[in-house]
């Protein structure tokens, strides 16, 4: 099975003389950075795109941990219908 690979990379020269880099990966993660030149902008874009799968794994791990904390809070009686947990 072939995974679809797609990224959105937007480069824009700002008035201050720096390059704005807007990036979005296939999972909807976004970032914006400012670099001094096009070479540095593309270097960051390549690095960020190469880290897509690691970022997805880290985000999934964090989401699972939060879900587990919510369950534990409910079991401990910390949550109510009008207040959040201590996460």
Would you say the pTM of this structure is higher than 0.75?
no
The answer to whether residue 84 scores a pLDDT higher than 80 is: no
Q: Is residue 24 part of a domain?
A: yes
Q: What are phi and psi of 74, to 5 degrees?
A: -65, -45
Domain boundaries, position 22: 8-75
Count how many domains the chain has. 1
Torsion sign across C-alpha atoms 16, 18, 19, 25 = negative
Q: Is residue 86 part of a domain?
A: no
Q: Is residue 67 part of a domain?
A: yes
Q: Is residue 49 part of a domain?
A: yes
Residue bearing the bigger pLDDT, 55 or 79: 55
Q: Is residue 38 part of a domain?
A: yes
Give the pLDDT confidence of 13-67 residue by residue, as tens digits: 998 899 999 999 999 999 999 999 999 999 999 999 999 999 999 999 999 999 9
| Paired tokens of 21 | 């880099």
């Amino acid at each position: 099975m072939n995974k679809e690979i797609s990224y959105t990379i937007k480069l824009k020269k700002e008035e201050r003389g720096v390059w704005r880099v807007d990036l979005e990966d296939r999972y909807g993660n976004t970032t914006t950075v400012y670099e001094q030149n096009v070479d540095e902008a593309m270097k960051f874009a390549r690095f960020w795109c190469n880290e897509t799968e690691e970022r997805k794994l880290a985000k999934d791990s964090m989401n699972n941990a939060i879900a587990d904390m919510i369950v534990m809070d409910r079991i401990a009686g910390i949550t109510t219908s009008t207040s959040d947990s201590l996460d």
